Structure 1
């Protein structure tokens, strides 16, 4: 019978994989690769996410990786903007094509009825062929004469989020920089086309899907197939999941769900101490699962999709945080012990110093 892992054991495994149990001495690019990307529709949030995970994190390093085209902001998992390595974007993007189209159509099906998506993609590529970055609105207006009925929002979303693999260019996403979204095809920004969809022979093997499974488990395991689907937005990758099952370790959670994991992957003792950690909005440590109870109580689940920044205390969401006039303000969701309060205050002071370049380290725990 598979070993049963209780919620606390799964919590400690998640913290270890997400680099939240101990800050890691990894280069920024390697950390982004390990995590399978960071959700980044709020452009400043990845800086806090990496500060909470890495020792001596320097924001300028992340900015330099973006301007140097080593990291890329693009629509991928769940059709949301993610920060990923250039190599992962090129290797994975084609595998997400169908899902991205379906998700945009799920929002704009009525508006896009009768629009030939192949023709729309060709028209969009023709507009971008001059190498000039464009906003979603500018691109949509450039093709709207041919398709006047859908409106610019539907056309723009379909072009930029689904039909044309694009990068959101700097200065969007640079440290302390406010900038609009300007898009360029990945081919132009990274110098080559994304990899074509690949299968390995007549058996329909899915090497990209299998790579996604392994990478997901490295950063989120042990996990169920529903958790994988919640992370990436793909339909569970059932063939890849099944193909790898025999080489993976099998567990069950307290609900009886089957969980898979990489052999030898970190699964710390459930009693391992977990320090306070401040997470950014939409952090992967929460959104990367269908069953999020390993990190957040069901009663607070809505915080994870509402863009609230949260604080982990003993590995679980126990507070929210904001910045008000340079002060990190923490609002507990439960009563904190004296030791927990001190731990949160100390970490909050460090975060305030990071966000202000050391000019202040003020924190207020309500």
Structure 2
């Protein structure tokens, strides 16, 4: 048996710099394809993840809005890996949905039926009628907000009793749960928000259909894309990123013919996997500075992050549930964090010293981002200690 290739931390950061960080993309679809999926729990993340990688970032907001909401929209939001909201390309959406979205949709429907039965005494027949009314209304009226839908569909104004008989008994509207489940099943989809690009108050419209894919083939396609962007990675990394069982991860790795590599001490300390033929050294590009938003895929791509983000900096850059805040990168490693003052100025703090050239490049990147934001202050949904501290300075 041939000896497995040993991957150093330097090799892994070179791959990150070349595959995930390089500024030069022509559009939002290209960025999304290179990163597989953009975290979209916080709508601003999508825009800022693209901004950090476009060749012409002064056109970020137009490019992302056109890709998401234009007549030929090439991106779509969906609930997928780890039951998290992502933006993916229309081309990859069938595989992402079959591999990760569809199982979540099944679970969401089961929970919704239990919620309605316990709190309101409604059954599957009642829910089907409500959902038909939502679909018919959107088809007839076009894009509508959740509030507009509720005014037009009486069933969405119903309320259920939660924790009946308990000291904390309360009532909840059914609208958000029904709409969420229909979106998870790709019956309706999110369109342009009612507010600004940072808003999460989306309008809704009938979803464009997705081609049906077998689950095993779809999982293999997702793993193939992940390895092309993030490889090498361990089984644990993939299990965490996808939210699948270890059995499903191993089956997908076998299907794509992934090659085993050794992750050297400091590079993950485990067996890793790359695509067939990808066990070769990467020429590191000239390092560039990048200010990436909270939940950017480059920081959330692996479960083990010690090889590009020192453990001693985790407390400053992550919240208590493992969500990463805004990060500052030099090449393929995290060297600090950033935030915004009340007036919108982007400021940063160095956590790892990479010299005067790196610091000057980050200063320039911060000034450029400040100018492009034009006074808009982006507050991450999951705030971290360093981001809060910089924001209050």
CA distance in 1: counterparts of 2:53 and 2:123, whole angstroms: 41
Trace 1:53-202 onto structure 2 (pairs within 5 A).
53-57=53-57, 58=59, 59-68=61-70, 69-95=73-99, 96-99=101-104, 102=107, 122-132=128-138, 133-135=144-146, 142-143=155-156, 145=158, 147-149=160-162, 151-152=171-172, 156-157=176-177, 159-160=179-180, 163-165=184-186, 166-171=188-193, 175=197, 178=199, 180-184=201-205, 188-190=206-208, 192=209, 194-198=210-214
Deviation, structure 1 residue 330: 0.7
SS at 1:320 equivalent = strand
TM-score, scaled to structure 1: 0.78
Distance verdict in 2 for CA 1:179–1:4, change over 3 Å: closer
Instruction: List runs of 5+ in structure 2 lacking aligned partners.
Output: 139-143, 164-170, 376-389
Q: Which residue of 1 aligns with 2:380?
A: none
In 1, distance between residues paired with 2:307 and 2:194? 33
Match of 1:241 among 247, 252, 265: 252
Measured after TM superposition, the shift of residue 232 of structure 1 is 2.5
**Is the 1:225–1:241 Cα contact (8 Å) retained in structure 2?**
no
Contact 1:213 1:241 survives alignment (8 Å): yes
- Indicate conservation of the 8 Å contact 2:17/2:285, yes or no: no
Is residue 214–residue 262 contact of structure 1 (8 Å, CA) maintained in 2?
yes
| 1:360 aligned residue | none
Residue of structure 2 aligned with 1:219, choices 229, 234, 240: 229
Cα distance change of structure 1 residues 269 and 215 upon mapping to structure 2, 3 Å threshold: closer
Give the structure 2 partner of residue 328 of structure 1: 346
Cα distance, 1:275–1:117 mapped onto 2, change above 3 Å:
farther
Mind listing any 5+ residue stretches in structure 1 that lack a counterpart? 200-205, 358-363
Task: Look up the match of 1:203.
Answer: none
Whether the 8 Å contact between 1:28 and 1:62 is mirrored in structure 2 is yes
> Could you tell me which residue of structure 1 aligns to residue 363 of structure 2?
345
Aligned-partner SS, 2:325: coil
2:242 pairs with 218, 232, 235, which one? 232
Separation in 2 of the partners of 1:342 and 1:47? 24
Cα offsets for 1:43-75 (capped at 9, x unmatched): 122222112122113221211122223222232
Structural mapping, 1:3-42, within 5 Å: 3-18=5-20, 20=21, 22-42=22-42
How many pairs does the alignment contain? 343
- The answer to whether the 8 A contact 2:327-2:338 is kept is yes
Q: Deviations over 1:98-149 (max 9, x none)?
A: 245558989x999678589966763552232224334289669835748544
Distance 1:234 1:123, change over 3 A: farther
Q: What is the TM-score of this pair, normalised by structure 2?
A: 0.73
Does the 8 A contact of 1:276 with 1:347 survive in 2? Answer: yes
Greater Cα offset, 47-56 or 120-129: 120-129
CA contact (8 A) 1:72 1:83 kept: yes
CA RMSD, 1 decimal:
3.7
Cα distance change, pair 30–6 in 1 and its aligned pair in 2 (3 A): same
